[in-house]
A and B are shown apart, each in its own frame.
Chain A
Amino acid sequence: MKLKTLAAGAAATAAVIVSSPAFAAGPPYTVSVGGSSAAASHSVTAASTGAVMFSIRNNAGTIINSNCTSVSGTGTVTSGTGVNPVASISTTTWVGCAIPGGAKTITQNGTWNITGTGTNATTGNETIAGQVDGIDASVHTTANPNVCRYTVTGRASASFNEATQQLVIDETGYTGNLTISNVVGCLGRLQNGNAASFATTLNVTSPDGAINLS
């Protein structure tokens, strides 16, 4: 069965997560990799199928695009019963990233988790809603980090398609789930607290086989 994202608004969702993480995490899953649900950690890689959309809406309402041509990553998926978060992203490599005026460099901080947020899936061929939690990345202009740098933190709505083994990140609409902070420079066009949107589709691959949740 398809798992749906929490329907509450962004602010309400954030409040629930802060006060009751277990509720927001949704029921734990039985996760199998390559058909085995034995408790184990499996390495995974992810690569975007196309461009990475990342944009920021500043205090004046102006949209500043800050896209990348691709991103790839490595991490682990946890098989077993009662699992959630189901996966983690430990490293990411961002390619072809730019803000208006120049190239930018993105560095992931810490580990990002992929958490299911809906009810249990059963058929093994569905789209399971969730989110990427604990996003934390440092961004700076490549030529000179003093021109513009900031930190992106928060979470992004996502879903995992079991049939295609794709993780679709779709944090759009500048909900405030993802914001920037520690802004330095940026020609006065970005401010602390500006909301960001982030969207990309990643092919997820484990050498141990396909990932399924139930």
Chain B
Amino acid sequence: MSSTTRRARRALTTAGVGAAVALIPLAAHAATIVPIEYDAVGTSTIAKTGSDVGLGPTTLSTDLDVETGNFTGSLPLPGTRTNFKAAGLLPVQADVAFVEVAPVTGFINLSGDIASVDATATYNVELSNIKILGFPTFTGTKCQTTTPVTIPVGTEPGVGFDLTEGGRLVGEYTIGDFADCGANTGLINALVPGPGNTVEIDVSNGRFL
């Protein structure tokens, strides 16, 4: 997200809050939003293929409601390439793209000595440029999951999240079937979809905007 967009969004938020206060005087209080950006980098391991997919480095942008602990945000992930062996033998390479289809939403809770985080990110997973045994295959340009992949992440039990220092977020998610992958649709759906895929994201260097 560009700084211009952020400024515009904050301006709109401020304007919206002002309007709400003016029009609805009985509102308990206006939400107070604090934008925070983090560096983020991580890995997702696809259970069925045993392959790792790099996530980032990227920027996690959040708007934290300091009155509730709720936040919304964005975690755009740059495309990457993954390698695995089909049936344990055939080397397969593919470009992987996680395309955000909904804002990241989450909640920060305070208890005892730590702040815990629970969040959900939603992406369409796109595959392209698939090579089997090093040979290009026809996949098309619209090979993606038929329904968005919902990825819940959170701090590990007993491990806190620092609003400035950040922390590690982990989660497990399910990948659904792919469609529009040309001749590879059947192969991809045999190899990739399923539960038990894991994600680890290190979030650091919080910047209050």
Residues of A near any B CB (own CB < 8 A): 62-65, 67, 99-103, 141, 143-144, 146-148, 184-189
Contact = CB atoms under 8 A, between A and B. Distances in A.
A101 B115 contact: yes
Interface string B143-182: 0000000000000000011111100000000000000000
Contact of B112 (A63, A147, A187): A63
Contacts of A141: 163
14 contacts: A62-B112, A64-B110, A65-B112, A65-B113, A67-B113, A100-B114, A101-B110, A102-B165, A143-B163, A148-B66, A187-B64, A187-B68, A187-B110, A189-B111
B64 A147 contact: yes
Which are the 5 A-B pairs with shortest beta-carbon distances? A101-B115, A185-B66, A187-B69, A100-B115, A189-B110
Most buried by A among B32, B66, B110, B113: B110
B138 interface: no
Contacts of B115: 100-102, 187
A99 B66 CA distance: 14
Interface residues of B, number: 23
Contacts of A186: 66, 110
Contacts of A99: 110
Interface in B49-96: 64, 66-69
A102 B110 contact: no
Nearest to A141: B163
A51 B161 CA distance: 22
Given A62-B111, A186-B110, A189-B109, A147 B34 contact: yes
Contact of B32 (A64, A67, A143, A146): A146
Nearest to B115: A101
B199 to A, nearest CB: 22
Contact of A100 (B32, B67, B112, B165): B112
B42 interface: no
A188 B208 contact: no
A99 B110 CA distance: 9
Given A143-B206, A143-B208, A146-B66, A185 B112 contact: no
A144 B110 contact: no
Contacts of A143: 163-164, 206, 208
Contacts of A187: 64, 66-69, 108-110, 115
B148 to A, nearest CB: 28
